[in-house]
Amino acid sequence: MATVHVFLIRHGETALNAAGVLRGQLDVPLNATGEAQAWALGELFRAVPLGAVVSSPLRRAADTARPVALSSSAPLEIDDRLGDRFYGEWAGHALEQVEEQFGSIDAAPFVEARELVEARAGAALLDAVAAVEGATARQRGDSPGEGSPLGVALVTHDAVLRALLGRLLPVLDPVTLELATGSWSELVSGPGEQWQATRLGQVPASGCRPTLRTG
């Protein structure tokens, strides 16, 4: 089995991010800052050999994913399972207002359960990894998983990223993790290994660059 690198990317900034309100299924575009963040991510991933870039269907994620796919020459795919958490009528409201009324966002009525977000996003990640493994193996004529490191990028939302990181890295407290808009994290898994984080919440301006290494 080859080493698998998964890059988890948070979409660029929107007007709702800047206003500090819940986004959820509201399909708002990137603002000027978000567009700059998307293109900076594209430059960051230039020449990184990704097998696929898989995005949430919401515009803010897809428009962030597009420069990454273009610069890495990877196909861009849309997966509904990477869509943001459903907040119902609370989308567009400040998180603090909802917490003041119900104690936590999890207790607010009609909000998608964290377990459901974790399950759907986790399934999307595993399917993306399996697809890249299979495509790479067919190109080489080898058995799936053997050979060079594999890379796949998932472009999604803060709530989804926290759910994924909590699922794949049980020792991590995703609640306290800082994941800025336009940031990326890297997880690595090899033969017989659990997922490990090599980068968390990096932004292009930090100077840290994504690479595919066997260890």
pLDDT digits (tens, 9 = 90+) for 92-120: 999 999 999 999 999 999 999 999 999 99
Q: Please, which pLDDT band fits residue 191 given cuts at 50, 70 and 90?
A: low
Q: E strands, the chain, where?
A: 4-10, 52-55, 76-78, 150-156, 184-189, 196-202
Percent of the chain topping pLDDT 90: 76
Structural contact between residues 33 and 204, judged by C-beta atoms closer than 8 angstroms = no
Per-residue pLDDT, averaged over 153-161, amounts to 97
Q: What is the pTM of this model?
A: 0.92
Per residue in 164-179, pLDDT tens? Answer: 999 999 888 877 888 9
**CATH number attached to the domain at 4-206:** 3.40.50.1240
> Where in the chain are the domains?
4-206
Q: What average pLDDT does the structure give for the chain?
A: 90
